Each structure stands twice: as C-alpha cells, then as structure tokens.
Structure 1
Amino acid sequence: MGQKKDLTGIERSKIVRYLAEGCSSLKIAKLLKRDHRTIKRFIQNSQQGRKKRVDKPRRKITAHEPRKVKRAAAKMPLATSLAIFQSCNITGVPKSTRCAILRDMAKVRKAERRPPLNKTHKLKRQDWAKKYLKTDFSKVLWTDEMRVSLDGPDGWARGWIGKGQRAPVRLRRQQGGGGVPVWAGIIKDELVGPFWVEDGVKLNSQSYCQFLEDTFFKQWYRKKSASFKKNMIFMQDNAPSHASKYSTSWLARKGIKEEKLMTWPPCSPDLNPIENLWSIIKCEIYKEGKQYTSLNRVWEAVVADARNVDGDQIKTLTESMDCRLLSVLAKKGGYIGR
C-alpha cells in the first residue's frame, strides 16, 4: 500500500461516493488500497474550494506615457487599445492593463449614426430657427419616409428573460426579405397616411410627384377647405427627389410655393417631429421581438399601430417645435435631444 502521487479520476469518484455513504477517510484508504495521507489531502483540497484569483499588479509605465495615450485616443476615435498604445510606441502591455489605463481617460462608445455638423450646417440650422421662431406650427404639415423590415433593426429583439426560461426562437433568413417604404405626415393632432411607397424609398422626382398626387393630394389634401389650404405649410426634407427643380415646380403648380413650402436645413432629422412618430410605431410593431413572414403582414402592422397613435400624442410632438427651435439656438446650431 505505497503512497502514490496522484489519484485517478475513477478513484476520485469513488472517494466522493464513499464520503456520501458516511465512510471515514481511513476506511476509504483501505477500500482503495491507497495511503491514508493521500485520501485526506484530496478531501481537504476539495473542501477548501477554488482559490480566489489574485489580481496581478499592473505593468508600470512611465509618468509621461499616460499623457501620450490620452492624446492618441483623442486623435483615433473608436480605435482598439492595442492600436492606441502602438501609435505611442508603448509595447509589451497586456490588454487588461491597457483597458484599465484607458478607462481613466476614455469610454467605449459606438459610432454616431447622425452625420457630423460642420460650421455651415450649424449656421443654416440657426438661420432656420430664427426664420420660423414666430411660426404657428399647428399649420405645418411635417412629412417624411421610413423603411420597415420583416425583422426590425439589428439587436431589436434584445430583452430580459426570466430565470429558468428559454429565449424564444428567432427566424433566420437566407436573405433579408426586403422592406416596406412608408410615407406619412402629421399636422396639429392629425395623422396623414401612412402610405406605402410602392416604387421604393429612393424615388426620382417624377415618381415622387406622382406618388404625392395618387396618395396625399387625392386621398387627403383635396378634402380640405380652401382656408385650410391657404394657411397650410408643407414641410419635406432635402432628399434629391424632394428638393429638385422638377418637384419644386410641380408643387408650385399645386399651390404649395414660396412661404407655403418650408425651407429645411441640412442634416436635421432631430428637428422633424415625425421622426418621433416613427419611433413610436417601430416600438409597437417589433415589441417582444416580433417578426413578420411577408411584406403585407408588416405593412398591416404599420397601418394598425399608426391608427392606434392618438391625437394627443401627435399634438405633443407638433407642439414641441417651439422648444426645438430654442434648443437649436441655445446649442448654436448643434444637435438637440429628441
């Protein structure tokens, strides 16, 4: 019964089983024909559990190197820690140490989806805010397009799952399945549309004007009174099909010209209240990770949830314009929170 260095896996399993049956370490040693000290050592190590990991000290860097890292991080937005340190000629620093140093001077962020505003953009946004500061925004029709897909934006289906529950299965497609371009407008407390843009969201001038004729003018605008048409201001963004000479001339023939056609500053989705309406609708159609099997199904969901947006919600959005204009001026043309 000589002392051996290590116990086999089978022997360890037997020791656990014998302990569960109430056997003493001495009896187990006799049953396994192993040295009593070997059995006792295994039992003691098992009862102590895993040793707590001790954090290793950071690799020391010189006093001026953190300043170099800070400057490099400012010049290289969204770069990895390795790229930042290599640009400073600081090598041999493990990732954990690099991240610990960077956490004191920077944060991990995703790229902004909004285009950056240059000086000209900011000046035009300020000029626009000053021009329309005294406007009665209850007379403005705010329009825009959005695109809805069958599965929603990437990561839309994230959410909390109760303990013991399994996450629901998501349909995976070989192809994306396309999407539905949607056009709508809001004025005061009223929703105009939504309308399905059959030809796609990137229309040319001719198809855009024909779309407005078949939907907006025939199904909504024509029914309005002469006094309403006289006072209404039509807002659209600066998409090429919207701002072209052809579209501008066509709208002028419809009576929407000069002060009745709102000028729009570049790069300003945050100033259009209908963008908030799109967020409300998308939250509803994709809630609980919902997916759709066809474009007709997702279109039906858009129409149904758009109809469920009540007039008070729309009125809250359109009445927010005074605050948005003041925010633009306060931020000197910069983006505002929506």
Structure 2
Amino acid sequence: MPAGKELSKREKGTILGLKKAGYSNLKIAKEINRSEKAVRTVVRDPDGQNRRPRTGRPKILSPRARRQMFRLACKQGMSSAKIKSTINLSCSRSTVCRAQWDTEIAKYVKRKAAPALMSDHKLRRVSFAQEKAISYFDWKRVLFSDEKKFNLDGPDGCQFYWHDSRLPPEIFSKRVASGGSVMVWAVISAHGTSEIKILEGRLNQDGAGFHRAHVVKAWLEDENISTMSWTAKSPDLSPIENLWADLVLSVYANGRQFETVEELRAQVLLSWAQVKLERLQSLVDDMPTRMALVLRSAGAKINR
C-alpha cells in the first residue's frame, strides 16, 4: 500500500500538542483528518530519527526555489509565469502554481477595497474613537445609514493576490463610480432595519465624493432624527458595511447573475427581508471593539 502524503511540520506540532493535552491517538487522527498510524508514528518518534528515507521521485522544486517563489509572489506580486522566468525554473508554470497553493503560509485571497487614508484622516479617526470610548457612547441609540450599489453581473473589484498569512492583509484604493445597476439606501440599528429604498440617480450619506441626497435629508427631518458627525473615509467603522457584505453574499449566492434590473431589485428586497435581528445586535455590540482597534492602530484601517 503506498504511503500517504507526508505530514507537515504544523501537523506534527499539532499532534504533539494534542497528545500532551491528553488526547488519544484516535481522537488526534480525527481532529487533523489523518490516519491513526501516522499519528502513532509521530508520537513514538517526534524527530523522525528512526524513519527510513521516503522512496519515489524526488521533488522537482528544491526548498530554496520554493522560498524564492514565496518571496516573489508575496512581496512583489509576481504571477506564476513571471516567477518561472525570473528564477529560471525548468518546471512548467502549472507546477509553480501548484507549489504556491501547497504552501501553508501563503494564501491566494481577495485584496480588500478601502479609501486611501492620509495622515489627517488617521488623526481624525483617532479623535473620533477617543471621544466615543471616553464617553462610553451608547451605540444602541444610533441609526446607521448608507447606500449600496448592486450590479447585474455581481460585485465590483474582484482583486486576488498571494497573501503571507503572517502579515496584515493588503488593500487597494478605489473611487465611487456609477454604472448600470440598482442603487439602494437603508438604515439599521440594534433594534432592526428600515425598509430598503430603491434610488434613482446618485446618493451619499457617509462622506464620499457625491452630493448629499435631498431624499435622505428629507427622510431624516420627517422622522425627527438628528445626525451625528462621522469621520471621513471610514466605512470600516460602520456596521452597515458588514451587513452590505452579508447582503452581497445572499444576492449573488452560488454565482447568481441577473438578466434584468427588475430581477436584481426583487432579489435585493428578498435578501433584505431575511436579515436577522441577532446579526444586527452583534454588529452594534462590536462598536466599542472597533473604537479600541482604531486607537491601537493609530487610525489605520481595521479589519472587522
């Protein structure tokens, strides 16, 4: 019977750690989805002193080549084809690509979009967070409003890159833009949501470059709601952004696309009606943590 895939250093460390914690070999095997025999071998011989060398075809990529590939992918953002030519590898481009996928540290992830933060923006974010933290601000009294654009073919800005999981995630700056799509506006709080409003034309309520819409101001005045100042270029501080992300996953579930604006509008309304109160409460409860993270990062973007 051929030998299975060799255990990684991380897997071996997990095995020894769980064994030290009192786990049985069988339970460890189930935890890491490996055979009990493989677990038993590591427990008996952690350093592999008594193991015979594995037979079979040697790997075409040396450890040194793999380290070079890792650096070029994560630090310079090179493609597999560019890496192959840069370090003059004799293997195919697909082999380079597979080797990158096999690493435990580098992951191919989507680059997150965020407005560019200047030093002045960061200072204002820190001041905003300090004010709210010192006053023990009651976020459950706040209504969070925002607009969102939904496209027929799916979300904008699908940028992926090789990410070193030991480092902070990358972002890219973007500008608000129009398009053939459905624009909506809504309000959320810890107590529920407003109706989601389908809008015609451009709208802004959270400090982007578009003019503030008269419909929003009129609605706030009609409902006798006072507005609070919000620090510019800080969508990461608002829980409604997380809810929009939830809505995107629901609207475009399983790669769903839409032929007409009417179909898209109907799905947006349906997904909005399915928002759960528990989700809203958890997002608002997270606001003090967001303020603390802003202070800890000296005003830089936070990941929530």
The yes-or-no answer on 1:320 pairing with 2:286 is yes
The yes-or-no answer on 1:93 pairing with 2:95 is no
Tell me the residue number matched to 1:222: 222
Name the amino acid aligned to 2:187. G
Aligned residues: 219
TM-superposed deviation, 1:178:
3.0
Name the amino acid aligned to 1:330. R
Q: What SS is found at the alignment partner of 2:112?
A: coil
Identity, % of aligned positions: 26
Q: What SS is found at the alignment partner of 1:180?
A: strand
The 5-angstrom pairing of residues 37-116 of structure 1 reads: 55=57, 57-58=59-60, 72-73=72-73, 75-77=75-77, 79-84=78-83, 86-87=85-86, 90-95=87-92, 98=96, 107-115=106-114
In 2, are the aligned partners of 1:122 and 1:332 still within 8 Å (CA)?
yes
In 1, are the aligned partners of 2:235 and 2:241 still within 8 Å (CA)?
yes
In 2, are the aligned partners of 1:182 and 1:196 still within 8 Å (CA)?
yes
Distance 1:305 1:115 in 2: 25
Structure 1 length-normalised TM: 0.52
Shift in CA distance, 306/100, structure 1 to aligned 2, threshold 3 Å: closer
1:160-182: CA deviation from partner (whole Å, max 9, x where unpaired): xxxxxxxxxxxxxxxxx931011
Distance 2:194 2:241 in 1: 14
Gaps of at least 5 residues in structure 2 are 1-55, 159-178
Shift in CA distance, 98/150, structure 1 to aligned 2, threshold 3 Å: closer
Q: 2:180 aligns with which of 178, 184, 192?
A: 178
Whose Rg is larger?
1
TM-superposed deviation, 1:294:
2.7
Gaps of at least 5 residues in structure 1 are 1-53, 157-176, 235-260
Tell me the residue number matched to 2:214: 210
1:201-233: CA deviation from partner (whole Å, max 9, x where unpaired): 58842xx3323245x24xxx4244xxxx4xx4x
The yes-or-no answer on 1:264 pairing with 2:264 is no
Shift in CA distance, 73/116, structure 1 to aligned 2, threshold 3 Å: farther
In 2, are the aligned partners of 1:81 and 1:99 still within 8 Å (CA)?
yes
TM-superposed deviation, 1:284:
3.3
Name the amino acid aligned to 2:138. D
TM-superposed deviation, 1:289:
5.0
TM-superposed deviation, 1:130:
1.2
Distance 2:247 2:258 in 1: 15
Q: What SS is found at the alignment partner of 1:296?
A: helix
1:133-182: CA deviation from partner (whole Å, max 9, x where unpaired): 2322123221211112334348x9xxxxxxxxxxxxxxxxxxxx931011
1:183-215: CA deviation from partner (whole Å, max 9, x where unpaired): 11223313233212201458842xx3323245x
Q: What SS is found at the alignment partner of 1:193?
A: coil
In 2, are the aligned partners of 1:128 and 1:264 still within 8 Å (CA)?
yes
TM-superposed deviation, 1:319:
2.5
Shift in CA distance, 55/270, structure 1 to aligned 2, threshold 3 Å: farther
In 2, are the aligned partners of 1:292 and 1:298 still within 8 Å (CA)?
yes
Structure 2 length-normalised TM: 0.57
Distance 2:276 2:73 in 1: 47
Aligned-pair Cα RMSD in Å:
3.8
